[in-house]
Structure 1
Amino acid sequence: MSEAVLLERVHARAPGKINVFFEVGPPGADGYHEVASAYQAVSAYEDVWATASDGFTVEVTGTVDVSGVPLDDGNLAVRAARLLAEHIGYDGGVHLRVHKGVPVAGGMGGGSADAAAALVACDALWGAGLSTHELQRLGARLGADVPFALLGGTAVGTGRGEQLSPALARGRFDWVLVISDEGLSTPEVYAELDEYRSGPGAHVPRAPARPAVFPPVLQALRQGDARMLGATAHNDLTDAALRRRPELDDIINLGLDEGALTGIVSGSGPTLAFLADDEQAALALQVTFSAAGHQTLHVHGPVPGAHLLTS
């Protein structure tokens, strides 16, 4: 594609996510794990502005610490733009301005949301007109969470998490996130889980042969029942993350003592997600965590996936 750029500047937004349920199978021959996840898109957003340019460049700002975000071809938004340009035969470039509101390396898919927003923005900037399904197929080449950042809402993910089936969710779920200053490496958390599962003792949980989302989780989402979801939400990576960062366990216990319906890590952590009864309960929980010296964020879900905004 070599036609003139149709727009001068495009603004797209994509949400972060919480894995309200996450079951992990054993590692395959390639080292990757089959998973079953119930994703919920939440109101922590990544904003991407795409402007016509000869090359591929990126600048990053945010309401969260962005010091560890790459500013070269290691940036997922840049990789997404390059992938789309190659796919449609576009021979120009783009300058991306990324404003991050999702904790970096926090298990909430912020980099994947960047990629999703970049795909949507560049698709509009270059007049490609790809469908959401086509963008999801491209996004899956960048990471398992990118297709969900494009879809948004609530969905079940299988395979590596990229095989999505939309799930019905009624009402609003309020979450309080406790953000860590130091990220966790996703490969290291998976390796910790594998090591833990291979240990001796009847009490050690074993990997499910075929991961699946627990049906009561989907029922809770369909009914908009926060208490039922709190009783059934689960993440296999929580124990592994706590083994690497034991201090997170104290924060989970504080949240549960103060009325949170559940406390789990989001994705591979270290961001902790606490489900509250409603908005007022979430605000009270947020005050408690803040008073204890923790950085917090109140979000709700489900929210839409990556979409264009009027500049």
Structure 2
Amino acid sequence: MTKSVIAGTKCILNPNSNLIAGQQLYYYYCLKCHAVTGDGKGPQASILKPKPRDFRLGLIKYTSTKPNIKASSKDLHKLLKSGIAGTGMPAFQLLGNHEIATLVEYTKYLSMRGEIERGLCIEAEIDFTQSLLDEELSHAKSAQQKKEVQKEFQEEIQDFLKSDFPEIVQEISLSVAESWIKADDPENVLMPTVKQTNPLGPSQANPDVSSLANGKMLYLSTSAQCVSCHGKTGKGDGDQTTQFQKRPDGTKYEKVGLHDTWGLPVTPRDLTYGVFCGGREPIDLFRRISAGVKGTPMPAFGGKGLNDEQIWDLVNYIYYLGGEYPNAKP
């Protein structure tokens, strides 16, 4: 890339037929909720709760991958094919696998474009914000000096666009692309090291009690802190839902309760419904606990506070809260 980037420059040159087909499918099936740019502000977004996903941060909540790893192509395929239970995200079961795969690629394109644009904005903000220009102008003592300051500022911007910007674009683009390629590496799929424990049998983590009993103890413990968000009975009414939480910059949100990375209010799952957004298979719940829910306050416990045996006990207890094993007494 040798030419400077100006307004109106196309970021994708000669997009392939797969991307064009993905755009057409996206416009037909997804645009009403996720909008043209993937910002989640489509015409139907205002009536939906939770809000449609804003893809531009490159974050997908429900994945099979390890913490800090993006969603894999298989994860996106599953979300499109199965939908997200308890939300407005439908299951596109009538679409063929080829169409789903095409939509997956276009979704990844929207995410990568958003990440790259965000990265470029951050780079430009280092030296070229309105506040920096205003500060320089405040030191000018005459109208002529202000004109000179503005002219010099514009020249510095043009020099930045011609000399540094192309290399920055390439670096950020490669980094973002590599992170998505990495997500499809089988080594980054989160798999438990032990099989699921029989809920009514002895716990693998604490053989003196049943798996359900140990799961209950872990759920109520201060180490796992499940109660702080999900509440003692799993109704999603923990203390954190009644407190003002802090933004990343240290200021507090105007509304009480938890918020996600997009700044939107998020309600902890009511576990007693037995409906789980990321799927209700045992491996789905294991991954939610082990890797957390990306982009939300739900943390990753795997490899930190809990081992795999303990996580399986928690999985079994969550099933119990959702109505499974009604005759058991943990």
TM-score band, normalised by shorter chain? under 0.3
Q: What TM-score does the superposition give when structure 2 sets the normalisation length?
A: 0.21
Q: What TM-score does the superposition give when structure 1 sets the normalisation length?
A: 0.22
**Which structure carries more relative contact order (alpha carbon 8 Å, separation 6+)?**
1
- Structure with greater helix percent: 2
